[in-house]
Every structure is written in structure tokens, then in C-alpha cells.
Structure 1
Amino acid sequence: MSGSTRTDWSLRLARPGDADAMPAIERAAARKFLADPDLADLDPNDTWTADKLRGLIRKGHCLVSEADGRLVGFLASEPFRRELHVWEMDVHPDYQSRGIGAGLVRAAQIDARNSGFRALTLTTFRDLAWNAPFYARLGFEEVTALDAHPRLVGELANEADNGLPAERRCAMICFLD
């Protein structure tokens, strides 16, 4: 049918068994960062472990995307009081540019709102098109008053300690009210 939109992927809550496939998706997606000369030293194999992902999944707010009978994307998040923090969101490169990432984020926003959270938070690269600008299109804004968000300040400091360039990183928030 001309002009119709065909959805060839689906979203659902993650189950503990999904954690085994998630690190490979993260690894594949991380290779995109290696094209940036300043990030060439990043290790794409430094991913969340399946055990840590299972721990997040048990908290009830992680999502996966399926296509062609397999997992192709995921969003791992964790509650912190009245906020839901997105630790990781990845879509396998073979399935990017199909709206899967945006679908995962929108579903997380709906889940968080329905669960009574007041906001979603995350940390990301401020200057990469598929990072902060992507999240901004989905309603996130950069946190400029970091003194009001000590948890996010701590996360940015941990990332810098782990070798991410602090000047390129930012915290973002999406208020759900």
C-alpha cells in the first residue's frame, strides 16, 4: 500500500531472559562512537553485564524491542525516588532509523508517567546527533542547575572518572507533568 506505515517491530517490558541478548546489542551500537576521533579509545566491549541488566529488569521498568524474531533494542532504567533514570538505550545498527529508539523512549515516558514518576533522567553526549539532540526532540532538556540534582552530578563525575570527556557530557531531564 502506497503511503502507509508498516511497523515491523514491537515493544514490550523486558524479561530476565532478555538480559543475555542485551550486551551484544549495546556492543554493536557502541561501534558508532568509534567514528568520532575523540572517542576512538572507548572500548565497545565495556557493556552492562547480563547479571546487572537482570537486576534492573527485576525493578520493572526496562523495555525491549523485537523484530524478525529477535531482540534488536532495549532501554534499561532504574527508579530513584520520583525519577526514572535511563541507564542505557541501544538499537542494533541493522535496525536503526526505523523509530525504534524513539519508540523505546516514548514507551518509557508513558510507563514512568503511569507509575507516578515525575521525570525521566539520563546522561549523554551533548554534541552527538543521536544523543542529546535526539533526546531533546523527545521532550528532554539539559539540566543546567546541576546543584539541584546531586545524583546526576555524581553520575557525570563517575563517567569522567571512567574516561568519558566531561566537557562533552550532560545530564538531561524530561518532566512528565
Structure 2
Amino acid sequence: MAQAKDWSLRLARIEDAEAMPAIEARAARMFAEVEGLAELAGGETVTPERLRRYIRKGHCLVAHEEGQIIGFIVTEPFGRELHVWEFDVDPDHQRRGIGAGLLRAAMIDARNSGFRAITLTTFRDVPWNAPFYERLGFEEVTALDAHPRLAGELAVEADHGLPAERRCAMIRFLD
């Protein structure tokens, strides 16, 4: 018998920004086990101030359980696309469908709000990155010249030390 879902999703609130960096930092520790990416395990997190700016735009979601935030997705509109800036589930709560639930809810919100696609950048070779997104219908953007915003984001990431050969942009068109 499957375990009942004991978590819920809702729109992020301004006050949620204070809890999000700790969840991001805990999730980032998983990179300690990925060859060549261990330095990301103790990296910087998105500041609460920046998170509040995204939350005010109205498309950020949190997963919560018993009043505690256990995951979140931070997005920002760019024209007719909604871009995922940060997406984390606390490691103690992973493998329960929370990440997929957050992403599916973000896709529904985006479609209902008139966006034509969701975009993001990620590691193509980390199991909980590109392969996870592929299972939810995302495709790697291979023609980056047709997506200058995403190409620019990948360039900024490379400038900040992320290995360009391991990064990719992905898109999920909303039907």
C-alpha cells in the first residue's frame, strides 16, 4: 500500500524567503558526492532579499509539511517563458515525489498564466538534474543561437566557475 501524501504545495510568501537558503544549502551538499563538483557542496545560496524579489512576481511555490518548508521552486517570467532559477527539496524529504510535484505545479501555473514554456539551466550528467527534468518532458536546448537568453545564462554560469561542458539549458513547452 502506498504511503499517503503528507505534504502540500502553495504559492511562496515573502516570509518563506528566510527558510529557503538553508534548504538550498542542505540540497547542495549532495554535490559533495559528484566527481568534479564537490566545491558546490558549500557554495553560496540565493539571498533572502533576491528570493523576496522573485516571490513578489507571483510564480514561486513551496512544499510544506507540518508547517515547515521542505522544498521550493523559484521562477521568473521572461516574455512568454517562465525560467527556473532555483529548485530544491530538503534531502531528508527527497524521493517522495515532492520535486516532481513542485515542477508539475509550476508547469500548470505557467500554462494557466499564458506562458508557452518553462526554461532552466542544469548539469546534464547529474542524475537529479537533466535526467530528472527529461522524465518530466524537458528537452535540452541544442540551438542556443535561437535562445540568446539561455545562451547568456550559460555564459554567466561559466564565468562564475561552473564547468561549461557539463551544463545545458533545457526547455519544456507547455501544451
TM-score (norm 2): 0.98
SS in 1 for 2:36: helix
Unaligned runs of 5+ in 1: none
The answer as to whether partners of 2:72 and 2:87 remain within 8 angstroms in 1 is yes
Q: How does 1:13-32 map to 2 (within 5 A)?
A: 13-32=11-30
Q: Report the AA paired with residue 91 of structure 1.
A: V
SS in 2 for 1:61: coil
Runs of 4+ in 1 over 4 A off after TM superposition: none
Moved more, 66-75 or 50-59: 66-75
Q: Aligned residues, how many? A: 175
Alignment match, 2:63: 65
Report the CA distance between 1:19 and its aligned residue.
0.3
Mapped pair 1:166 → 2:153: no
Q: Report the AA paired with residue 71 of structure 2.
A: G
Describe the superposition over 1:66-112 as per-residue Cα deviations: whole angstroms up to 9, x where unpaired. 01320000000000000000001000000000000000000000000
Report the CA distance between 1:5 and its aligned residue.
4.1
Report the CA distance between 1:36 and its aligned residue.
1.4
The alignment-based identity, stated in percent, is 70
Alignment match, 1:112: 110
Alignment match, 1:55: 53
SS in 1 for 2:21: helix
Unaligned runs of 5+ in 2: none
Alignment match, 1:156: 154
Report the CA distance between 1:40 and its aligned residue.
1.7
